[in-house]
């Protein structure tokens, strides 16, 4: 898709400095762009690439405009403007409609006439596929699940247990929704399975990354509210609740019955233990383990910093003795004050 | 499925206080239950929901019975009684039998007449599928694997490398059994693959969660003994041995040739390095890294506690200097004693 | 496959001590081997099994030869010799060629006549499958992707977004290449998706483990250079660059736009935050989080050591107060020196 800089400036509500007739045919980073492409500067880390960019135009803040060797599109939020420009220049493919002859659709499933069911996909009885939905190759929709209008299951997505997925969902390959939760009771040194009979409820505008798993509730539902964004390889256990517009980065694990608030962010590799309550607007930094409920909005962290291995070995030994030293420090302070007092 | 309270009391061997003719049609949590449903109180955390529950009956311990606004089923282990009640009230679906016309079953595979092979499933030569087995949609059973009687492969499960799965296994979507282990030798700055020629042996009554991976042995087998329960997104490397009745929560990674004992529990996100030996009845808390063998039963932990981010930054700097301070403390103690002595 | 010890000694360029006519029919560990099998001793941890091995021959270093109860094959790198012996004794299966009748191949795809496309596999328009490639059951190759000659996609692999996979790649079940990166801009408390329009470029001789995910670039490509080896359940985010011959163990997560050098190793469970630059020949030990760029080759670590749970609880409390104690220690040192001076 090609657009002129003038068209882009108008669509992005940006101030153009440069020739509005310049034709833009795609986007690239400052470093990789070639003439005819649009770039952007949002993260200061990449400012060093601005002066040498070959892009025909750059989206940036007013303060950076002077340093650009090209036309500029000035706006307050260059990252957002980049998102919108990318959407204009790389519009989504037109989706097919119908049922591929090598799909397996149960006669008792309801598939909207405007939806697509791809090759190798399986849609079982009483499953419901809404208007404009795209069910990619090798997806499995088990009996009774429903997929809201405009959703896209890219490929090899599995939805089970009567799960209800909202509108405009985007589920990436390998996603599993509605697998059994990990519930067992201990009986005489063996594990006895707790039947998992709940379901999963997913709101509108939710995106779920490749190979992420969302278990069904044991009783009641696992709930993901509207606008939640989840990255790849995240594990969401049974009866977890994730509040609206929360974003969860890759490799996070959330244990059973935990409630995450709205507008939270969990960075990569975070783990949250079960049965906790995390307030709205809580941000957890990477690879932290959350072991208690969090009542106040804010940013929370755990973990040790990276060290050269030799230094780490010395320090790690000390971590095992921390309590002992603090007692030694207490003792020393006490002796010292007694001595001072007794002077 | 509907049962009377009297029937449930008898089946659960529980003491009923209330009207035995009350009809129960399902289970729900204390908070969500409506009349006609049964609930339970096992975790003290949820006691606060007891007084206001609308459940027609609650499974609980004798000590809690007085606080219930409903009929009660009194027993010593309410969690186990809940598991059993859930199974009675939500019996498993009757499974189909036969081979779906869109399954691909090699003529040299052996599929028991009472088993089911679903649409899109692939069963290669010499694979053996036992009595009553359910092979869900889009599963792949490679040449020579065997699945024991009564097992259920929910959907999109892959079993390779001649792996042998025991009876009554429950394998959730996305599980991969028998993928190559990660074995390489370094030659002149390049990696040369070690052929992975072992297999996987899985005992009876094993459950494996969604998107979990279990590699084949390099030589010899990766072994998962009977009654082991594994959650979602767990990685079990080549030649790992997991003893009977051990439970492994989500996102755990176990490196090659490590031996985990029987009746152990590994909480979420734990990592275990390779070639270790972990005794029976060892419990590892969440996100700990196990770097040495463990000879004694008990509970083991690692990790730093969650802190408000500002406090964490200050403390994290100090973690890099631990060894230095301890030396300062040593020095100060020495000076102090010398001074005291020289007084 | 059977070979004599003399044949093996020649192929491995090893010194044979023993009867060259002995027939070897396979490999096994020192502990499991039976007569007729070859074993090896590379890791000192397993030396204790040497004296009692029933193997007909053992590959080992000259210094260990005296302790073997069997014939020996002496060489400098027994692990590498084992790799090569295993390949000789367990040669790879001959691969089929052609397109299975239950594969779905678009007429506009290019599949080499010497390649195989298995049952349930989907190959979309303009996808290119090179000479001798094996596309296993239920794989999905989306429009425009290319798979280089001699590559093997074992089963249920998904390749999207025009990704280009080099020659002799080995992609294990559940791998997803080319899923959308996790890119969003925040607008009025909601997340707006950044279109992900880049691709993935994978060099020759790359191996990628089961259920690993590699996202497409946002703009430009995610790049995995030649000879890189990636284990199971690894997450590689958009626009990551991984240099040639780097090895990445299971459960690692690498955030967006990070550049990993050549000949690096990342042990299991490592996390790397985004936009970093890691030099060549850097080694990160297990479960460390990398939060800053690393300019110098070497080994780096983070994390706390495993402790008995009771000791850990005491020490963990102290980790939250580290900064405070160091200040107390500072204070005490100051007072002490003042006192000493004022004596």
Question: Which tens digit of pLDDT belongs to each residue from B212-253?
Answer: 999 999 999 999 999 999 999 999 999 999 999 999 999 999
Please report, rounded to a whole number, the percentage of residues in chain A having pLDDT higher than 90.
Answer: 90
State whether A253 and B245 contact (CB < 8 Å): no
Return the sign of the alpha-carbon dihedral for residues C34, C36, C41, C42. negative
The pLDDT assigned to B338 comes to 77
Query: Which tokens is A241 given?
Result: 């609740």
Q: How far apart are CA B163 and CA B296, in angstroms?
A: 32
- Region A314-335: mean pLDDT is 89
Task: Collect all residues of chain A within an 8 Å Cβ-Cβ radius of residue B27.
Answer: 197, 219
Best probe of the C interface among B180, B212, B249, B316, by most C CBs < 10 A, is: B180
Q: Which comes out higher in pLDDT, residue B334 or C105?
A: C105
State whether A320 and C311 contact (CB < 8 Å): yes
Query: Which tokens is C216 given?
Result: 């497409």
**Which CATH fold would you assign to the domain C3-89?**
3.40.1390
Q: How far apart are CA C84 and CA C77, in angstroms?
A: 11
Distant-in-sequence, close-in-space partners of A171: CB < 8 Å, separation ≥ 6: A151, A152, A153, A154, A157, A159, A165, A177, A207, A208
Nearest by Cα to B84 from A193, A199, A181: A193
Give yes or no for residue B43 having a pLDDT over 70: yes
Give pLDDT tens digits for C67-116.
999 999 999 999 999 999 999 999 888 889 999 999 999 999 999 999 99
Q: Which comes out higher in pLDDT, residue C79 or A343?
A: C79
> In this complex, which chains have at least 3 CB pairs below 8 Å with chain A?
B, C
Give yes or no for residue C166 having a pLDDT over 90: yes
Nearest by Cα to C247 from C210, C212, C291, C208: C208
Nearest 5°: the CA angle A301, A302, A305 is 110
The pLDDT assigned to A343 comes to 57
Best probe of the A interface among B54, B59, B135, B173, by most A CBs < 10 A, is: B173
Distant-in-sequence, close-in-space partners of A110: CB < 8 Å, separation ≥ 6: A126, A127, A128, A129
State whether C104 and A120 contact (CB < 8 Å): yes
Nearest by Cα to A34 from A19, A49, A56: A56
Q: In DSSP terms, which residues pair with C164 in a beta bridge? A: C146, C201
Whole-prediction pTM value? 0.96
- ipTM of the prediction greater than 0.90, yes or no: yes
Q: How far apart are CA A16 and CA A8, in angstroms?
A: 9
- CB crowding A276-295: b at 16 or more within 10 Å, else e: bebbebbbbbbbbbbbeebe
Residue B208, CB-side half-sphere exposure with 13 Å CA sphere: 33
Q: What is the 3-state secondary structure (H, E, C) of chain A?
A: CCEEHHHHHHHHCCEEECCCCCEECEECCCCCCCCCEEEECCCHHHHHHCCCCCCCEEEECHHHHHHCCCEEEECCCHHHHHHHHHHHHCCCCCCCCEECCCCEECCCCEECCCCEECCCCEECCCCEECCCCEECCCCEECCCCEECCCCEECCCCEECCCCEECCCCEECCCCEEEECCCCEEEECCEEEECCCCCCEEECCCCEECCCCEEECCCCCCEEECCCCEECCCCEECCCCEECCCCEECCCCEECCCCEECCCCEECCCCEECCCCEECCCEEECCCCEECCCECCCEEEECCCCCEEHHHHHHHHHHHCCHHHHHHHHHHHHHHHHHHHHHC
- Running DSSP on this structure, what letter comes out for residue B93? P
Give pLDDT tens digits for A30-87.
999 999 999 999 999 899 999 999 999 999 999 999 999 999 999 999 999 999 999 9
* Residue A341 binned pLDDT confidence (cut-offs 50, 70, 90): low
- Considering the candidates C49, C172, C238, C292, report the single residue annotated as catalytic: C238
Length of chain B: 343
Nearest by Cα to C332 from B333, B321, A333: A333
| Coil vs helix vs strand at C327 | helix
Give pLDDT tens digits for B264-301.
999 999 999 999 999 999 999 999 999 999 999 999 99
Best probe of the C interface among A87, A211, A213, by most C CBs < 10 A, is: A211
Task: Collect all residues of chain C within an 8 Å Cβ-Cβ radius of residue B182.
Answer: 209, 229, 231-232, 249-250
Residue A200, CB-side half-sphere exposure with 13 Å CA sphere: 28
Q: Are C207 and C189 in contact (CB under 8 A)?
A: no
Give yes or no for residue B341 having a pLDDT over 70: no
Length of chain C: 343
Query: Which tokens is C21 given?
Result: 């006519």
Give yes or no for residue B342 having a pLDDT over 90: no
β A307-308/C298-301 pair status: antiparallel
**Which CATH fold would you assign to the domain C98-300?**
UDP N-Acetylglucosamine Acyltransferase; domain 1 (2.160.10)
- Region A209-238: mean pLDDT is 98
Smallest Cα distance from C200 to chain B, Å: 22
State whether A180 and B209 contact (CB < 8 Å): yes
């Amino acid at each position: 898709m090609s657009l002129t800089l003038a068209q882009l400036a108008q669509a992005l509500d940006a101030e153009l400095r440069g020739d509005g007739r310049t034709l833009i045919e795609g986007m690239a980073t400052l470093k990789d762009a070639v003439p005819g492409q649009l770039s952007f500067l949002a993260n200061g880390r990449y400012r060093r690439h601005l002066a040498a960019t070959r892009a025909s135009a750059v989206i940036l803040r007013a303060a950076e405009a002077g340093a650009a060797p090209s036309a500029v599109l000035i706006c307050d939020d260059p990252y957002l403007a980049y998102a919108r420009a990318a959407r204009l220049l790389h519009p989504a493919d037109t989706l097919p409609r119908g049922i591929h002859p090598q799909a397996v659709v149960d006669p008792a499933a309801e598939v909207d006439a405007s939806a697509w069911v791809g090759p190798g996909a399986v849609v079982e009885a009483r499953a419901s596929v809404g208007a404009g939905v795209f069910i990619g190759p090798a997806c499995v929709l088990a009996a009774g699940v429903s997929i809201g209008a405009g959703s896209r299951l890219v490929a090899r997505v599995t939805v089970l247990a009567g799960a209800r997925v909202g509108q405009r969902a985007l589920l990436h390959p390998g996603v599993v929704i509605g697998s059994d939760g990990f519930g067992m009771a201990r009986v005489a040194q063996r594990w006895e399975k707790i039947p998992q009979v709940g379901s999963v409820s997913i709101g509108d505008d939710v995106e779920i990354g490749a190979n992420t798993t969302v278990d069904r509730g044991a009783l009641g539902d696992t709930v993901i509210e509207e606008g939640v964004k989840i990255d790849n390889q995240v594990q969401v256990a049974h009866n977890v609740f994730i509040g609206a517009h929360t974003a969860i980065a890759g490799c996070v694990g959330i244990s059973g019955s935990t409630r995450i608030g709205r507008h939270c962010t969990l960075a990569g590799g975070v783990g949250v233990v079960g049965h906790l309550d995390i307030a709205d607007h809580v941000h957890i930094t990477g690879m932290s383990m959350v072991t208690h409920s969090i009542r106040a909005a804010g940013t929370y962290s755990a973990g040790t910093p990276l060290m050269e291995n030799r230094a780490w070995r010395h320090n790690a030994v000390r971590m095992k003795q921390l309590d002992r030293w603090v007692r030694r420090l207490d003792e020393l302070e006490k002796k010292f004050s007694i001595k001072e007092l007794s002077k």
